[in-house]
Structure 1
Amino acid sequence: MAELVTVARSFSAPTGIAFDSKGAMYVTNWSGNSVVKINSNGDREIIHSNISSPAGIVIDAEDNIYVSSYGDDYILKIAANGKSQKISEGYHTPTGIAFSNSGNLLITNRSTGEIVSLDLKNGRKEIIANGLSTPVGVTQLADNSLVVSQYSGRLTLIQPNGDKTELGKSFNRPGVGIVAISPSVVAVIDNGADMVRKIDVKTKEVSTLVTSLSGAVALAYNNNQYYIGTWGDGSVHRFNDK
């Protein structure tokens, strides 16, 4: 089993983790209503506050930051120059977010069971999946299929044609953190089991990467290392991909 290293503490319900091009880590402080930046040297600063229950976070190639406000149903953009603005509103408890293969923003509408695709160039929204049960995390695979983690206990593979396959039999309560680590393998927070699991969506083989995580919620994969945000101790932990 992987060995955990604690890399940062004193968060208030760390829910999303992302990295910029310089290696700085950004964490959404759900209960602290803020977004925190930790530079590679360990220096820490709040880069945005007064955002209600920030959940998902992603960073594009130009270091623009996108954050979902679970509490106020909008998407916030924090530009590389620090300027922030709401760029899209009218969601339904948006939780985990991710980039699609085409560069759109994929947003989980937790309370309505939908995945929304937001075109960042023109602001148009499209519901690309529905009928889900409390979706909180999403990632897109190389073949354009989606894998959606749902607090209900489901982990669902959605093919580009809309066909769904349930993968969550071995999972207790899949959480916000979900990342694709190869064309057919995703790593997923199992919040209900305090674990990070890995699943091959083709073979449905499930393995456990790390256990004994107190309230694991956030998950990121950067430079062959996993980063996990845990609510139980308000910390971010790291372990290497073996």
Structure 2
Amino acid sequence: MFLNEFYSQEDSTFRFTQHQASHFAKTVANDYNKIHDVDNKRFCVPGDLLFAVSLAKFGLSETMKINFTGMVRNDVDLQFSPLSENKTTIINANEQVLMELELAGNSSHDDEIISKIIIEYVQFSGKNFPDVMVPLMRSENLMFNPARALIMYKCMEINMTRVDVKNIALRFDEALIDVNGKRATVTFKFDFYEGEEKVGTGQKEMLLSGLIPYEESVMNGVIADYQAAKVKYLSAAS
């Protein structure tokens, strides 16, 4: 599977280098969040990469629920806890739980479909900012503080009507924002299709903290920096 270049496996443990995780974020997910830059002191592995590794290991289940409970650093030995009652976790050497996974229903281990879902999902996820999130924040006259951006990947869920699909595509449905003081939960909903038949639904949730009044000029600067980082990376890679 194409995913093998983005992590290293040894017996029951696996790990991510900064280069592997950053390369995945930028080349697969189209995600240029600075926290995934190799020279960022707060570097963390993208949650979408953890989801992708989970799919590769356990296959596609009719229901998959993931909760992100901690930030995953680079060059740390990780492993999945033993599957019990269709639940498992990603833990580090100190047994700190960094991600929870719950599975239900039938499953498929078709590498081609799993690879397709990974690519479809993470590319959709990478478009959440600025395409979807910025209009939502503007509608509430609120935004994250660029100086102390606190945006956390909370959870995601997939519900398939069947997993015996031969092809699959993701289509964006809608996005919602729920504001509670200086915090907000943003929910991105999407559907899976095989041709014109809807075969599944899903959603992901992000937590925004330390919200401040929306300023168009400031947000335009954030978007410009984000786009500049993308151009710089692609230019260096070409």
Flag the structure with higher helix content. 2
TM-score normalized with structure 1 length: 0.27
Would you tell me which structure has more strand in proportion to its own residues?
1
TM-score scaled by length of structure 2: 0.27
Instruction: Find the structure with the greater CA-based Rg.
Output: 2
